[in-house]
Structure 1
Amino acid sequence: MRALRVSHRRHRVSRWWYVAAVALLAGCALEVTAQTVMTPQDLARKNGCMACHGIVHKQVGPGFAQVAERYRNDADAPGRLAAKIRNGSVGTWGRLIMPQQTQVGDADAQVLARWVLSQPSPPPAR
């Protein structure tokens, strides 16, 4: 009788470990899914782009709508802008310096460049 109780208890414990492992794996899967749902605007905030650029108007650097307007008909713009995001640039917008953003990966730089270029034209100046 005692052997039966021990066996039953072991079965309960092993089932508990199984449930805990499944819950842990499910939590990891949700974490990965949550990370992949970041919007380009969230990516821009996360990487500090909004510290210098406005969506529409110039802050320190040009607004994203201004950048989009300048490069609207340039098919090579996404690659060049992604490179400028990662490597920085000087003189494109006057004497402003775009510092290197080495923390931004190549794929994220491409996403940010495409997002910036997708901005609508800025409203006319009054």
Structure 2
Amino acid sequence: METIEGIVIPGNQLGRQLGFPTANIALPARLIPQALQMEGVWAGVATCQDETRWMATISIGRRPTFYGEHGELLLEAFLHDFSGDLYGTTLKISLRRFLREQLAFPSPEELILAMNSDADRTRQLLVSH
């Protein structure tokens, strides 16, 4: 199990617009080689500063549907059943199961279908263990 820790930063609200608000973590330069090896979509757990834990569907990548291969490498975590503001706080993201590679989808609608499937798989995998 890999863990990445970082500070939640404001994003461009793409996840929120797609129905999946995410906590975005900028990856420090020292973590980029590690993150490149973990690019893809993962099922995992996000631990907040107060030690509360949330099931999470995590994307590590460049958001190829919107930015192609030239987007900024970013970790985005969708915390299941969470509502609130995490900006400026530290999150610890534990990657548990690899779900799929990063893909460029032909449309936002097809990306949303894949994100729904990713979130469903995360719930199935993490609840059964």
TM over 0.5: no
Structure with max Cα Rg: 1
Higher relative contact order (CA 8 A, sep 6+): 2
Shorter-chain TM-score tier? under 0.3
- TM-score of the two chains, using structure 2 as the length reference: 0.27
Identify the structure with the greater helix proportion.
1
- TM normalised by structure 1 equals 0.27
